[in-house]
Amino acid sequence: MKRSSSHRATLVGRRAALVLVVLVLLVAGAWSSWNTARHVVLSEGREHGTVTVTRCGEEVCAGAFEPDAGAAARARVTVERSVAARQGDRFPVVVKPGSDAVVRTGTPGFLHAWLPLGGAMLMAAFVIGGGLRLVRTAWGVGTAGAALLVATFVAL
């Protein structure tokens, strides 16, 4: 049976829309990750040190910052609560320029920074496999996203 040109146009349009959805998911995940990851990845010239968590609220934890070298000690800096920080924890950080906010560094900080991208990859895998019918690609993207999520959970 021959397919009409309108049927083919519908299929191409559907496929293009699904590719656009996948791209939006992945770009949004990468963009969201980069807001934190840039401080970890491009940390040269920034203040490095260790934070000792003294108290935690619902969204942020606060503590004292002890610099590694060439930076001033700070009595109070804040770190997002989502980095699995508890009162009494000590971990390496880098200070965000122009603020008293810090970002965890090292392997746990690097993995945590890319966590939104891992979630986006996992969501995109369902669209790739179910909508675009690219099953092997979906398994690859989904496995990479899940591996990132699990590695972050283990590292933190």
pLDDT (tens digit per residue) in 97-141: 989 999 999 999 999 999 999 999 999 999 999 999 999 999 999
The per-residue pLDDT for 43 is 87
Same domain, 27 and 76: no
**71-91 mean pLDDT:** 85
Structural domain for 71, as ranges: 44-104
Which of 84, 104, 124 is the endpoint of a domain? 104
Same domain, 31 and 50: no
Cβ distance 111 to 89 under 8 Å?
no
Q: How far is CA 39 from CA 80, 106, 112, in A?
A: 14, 11, 12
Q: Looking at residue 93, which CATH number applies to its domain?
A: 2.40.50
Cβ distance 81 to 60 under 8 Å?
yes
In a domain, 145, yes or no: yes
In a domain, 109, yes or no: no
Percent of the residues in the chain that have a pLDDT greater than 90, as a whole number: 76
**55-79 mean pLDDT:** 90
Domain count, the chain: 2
CA distance 10 to 65: 58
Cβ distance 65 to 74 under 8 Å?
yes
Same domain, 33 and 49: no
